[in-house]
Structures are given as C-alpha cells and as structure tokens.
C-alpha cells in the first residue's frame, strides 16, 4: 500500500513539475499562432481540436481547405461515393503538384455530368432544392450557405492562409452575391495580419494590399462603378497566386463586353494551371471563344 501511495504522490509531483516547466516555456517564447476558435461547423469540431492538440494546425488547415473546395466545388445535390472519391483524389493530386487528367465526372448533375468550376459564371448554375419547385431556381444569395463558415474554419486554424481569404471573398462577392460576407472575411484577414504580423516571415505588405485591392473591387461593384471594379480585378489577376475563380469572373466580364481575346487569354491561363476544379469549364470556354473568333 505504501509503495502504491508513493507512486501516486510521485506522479502528482511529476505532473506539477511539468506544468511549472510549461509555464516557464510559455512565458519565454511567443507561440506563433493565436488561440484557436473552434469551427461553427460541428461535424469538423473533433478533427480540428485534434489538429490543435497534436500541434498540427497547419496540416489541419490544409485538410479544411480541401473540404472547403469539395463543398463549394460540388453541386448542392449529393454525389455518389465513387464521384466524391474521384473529386477528392483529383484535388489532393493537384495540391501536391501532380498532373490531373482533364475529364468530366459523372454524378447527379443537371445533365448527368458534374462540371466543377462553374462558379465563375456568376449565377449561371441554379440547382434545385427540396424547397424550390423545378421552375423556381434558388437565388445566388441562398446557395452554399456554409461557405463563409468553411473559410473561417480554415483561417482560424491557420490565420496566415491568405489564399483562403482571397478565394472566399471572391466567391462570396461575385458568384454568390453576398458582398457583406466577403467584406467581413477580408476585414478579419486584415485584423489577423495586423495582430500577428511579427510572426510573419514573408513580406507582410503582400497580403495586406491584396486584401485592400479585393475590398476596393467589391466596393466599386456595390456602388455600380463597374469600370473601376474591372480595373481592380485586372490588377488582381496579374498577381502571383490569384485564384482561378477570380480569373474566371473577369474572363466572363470580358466575354459579356465582347472582349473575346482577353477572355480567351484568361481561360487559357486557367486551363494551363491544370486545376481540376476548372478543367471542364475552361475547355468548354476555350472552344466557345475560338468559335466566336473564328480561330
């Protein structure tokens, strides 16, 4: 009994010593990430918490990013398991820098095919839902209601994931017609950069001015200054790492304004990126524009 009691007390003392040592370490070194805010998407809470507890927040954010793309890159009607697996594997290969074959995925889309990357059409795709009659398509504002939550999930895990702010803001502002949500997301990105800028090793001004550029474009859109909006987007698409979704928005604007050559150039850039989310759509647009131009 005494032996058992001694071991128990020794264990307690060891734990107390470990906690004391931890407090010294925490006080001496600045933790590079802010405290995590758990996602408001409950199905991912345990996974995200596991990533935090095991010190793998960046890896968890990468997985959250892939799940965001799966959510926004898929039709709002359920896909079969085989299609879901193929789309997931294509995205993993693309993010790993591996070539992805350009092909159409068969699923439960409107015409028997699921074409990813249609979000650049600003409302072309209007899927049905249980609450809408077949001849009463849903508005853009009511589609993908959890997209902002997915964006916040990624950046809460990794506040330096600047691409998630840019991609999410572009999708919310131009494709889903929710500019207020886009502005909130960008403002949270600016706040994160201001608060944790001392932990950023790359040029801190790079994400700052990109966020402000996107905010300017959204403000011009809301105020009806479409020439200024187009000008801001033209600056945005020339920046390294500009999301293909933003390039697709500008390409469609060019096409509507009968600027077919600039539109074709952007779609060729999107196609050459081998982004599986935009492979079918870019092929379709390139053929369409070449036919218009007679080349």
- For 251-276, write each residue's pLDDT tens digit: 999 999 999 999 999 999 999 998 88
Residue given tokens 């600003």 in the structure block: 122
Which residues contact residue 213 at a Cβ distance below 8 angstroms, ignoring those fewer than 6 apart? 232, 235, 236
* Highest averaged pLDDT of the listed ranges 94-98, 108-112, 153-157: 153-157
pLDDT of residue 43: 86
In order of 69, 162, 163, 189, 243, the CA distances from 61 in angstroms are: 12, 12, 12, 15, 18
pLDDT tens by residue, 191-218: 887 776 655 545 544 667 788 899 999 9
Q: What are the domain boundaries of the chain?
A: 42-129+137-293
pLDDT tens by residue, 241-252: 889 989 999 999
Share of the chain above pLDDT 70, in %: 61
| 31-37 mean pLDDT | 58
pLDDT tens by residue, 7-16: 565 566 555 5
Examine the pLDDT at 36 and tell me if it is beyond 80.
no
């Amino acid at each position: 009994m005494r032996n058992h009691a001694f071991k128990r007390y020794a264990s307690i003392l060891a734990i107390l010593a470990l906690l004391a040592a931890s407090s010294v370490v925490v006080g001496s070194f600045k933790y590079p990430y802010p405290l995590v805010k758990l996602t408001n998407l409950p199905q991912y809470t345990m996974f995200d918490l596991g990533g935090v507890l095991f010190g793998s927040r960046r890896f968890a954010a990468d997985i959250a990013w892939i799940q965001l793309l799966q959510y926004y890159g898929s039709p709002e009607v359920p896909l079969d398991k085989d299609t879901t697996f193929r789309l997931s594997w294509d995205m993993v290969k693309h993010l790993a820098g591996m070539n992805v074959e350009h092909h159409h995925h068969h699923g439960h889309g409107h015409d028997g095919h699921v074409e990813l990357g249609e979000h650049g059409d600003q409302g072309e795709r209007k899927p049905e839902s249980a609450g809408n009659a077949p001849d009463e398509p849903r508005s853009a504002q009511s589609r993908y209601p959890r997209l902002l939550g997915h964006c916040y999930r990624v950046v809460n895990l990794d506040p330096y994931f600047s691409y998630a702010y840019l991609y999410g803001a572009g999708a919310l502002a131009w494709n889903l017609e929710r500019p207020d949500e886009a502005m909130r997301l960008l403002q949270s990105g600016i706040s994160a950069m201001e608060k944790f800028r001392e932990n950023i090793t790359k040029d801190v001004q790079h994400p700052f001015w990109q966020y402000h550029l996107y905010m300017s474009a959204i403000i011009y859109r809301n105020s009806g200054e479409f020439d200024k909006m187009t000008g801001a987007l033209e600056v945005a698409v020339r920046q390294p790492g500009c999301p293909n979704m933003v390039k697709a928005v500008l390409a469609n604007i060019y096409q509507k304004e009968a600027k077919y050559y600039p539109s074709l150039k952007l779609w060729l850039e999107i196609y050459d990126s081998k982004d599986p989310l935009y492979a079918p759509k870019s092929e379709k647009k390139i053929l369409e524009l070449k036919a218009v131009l007679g080349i």
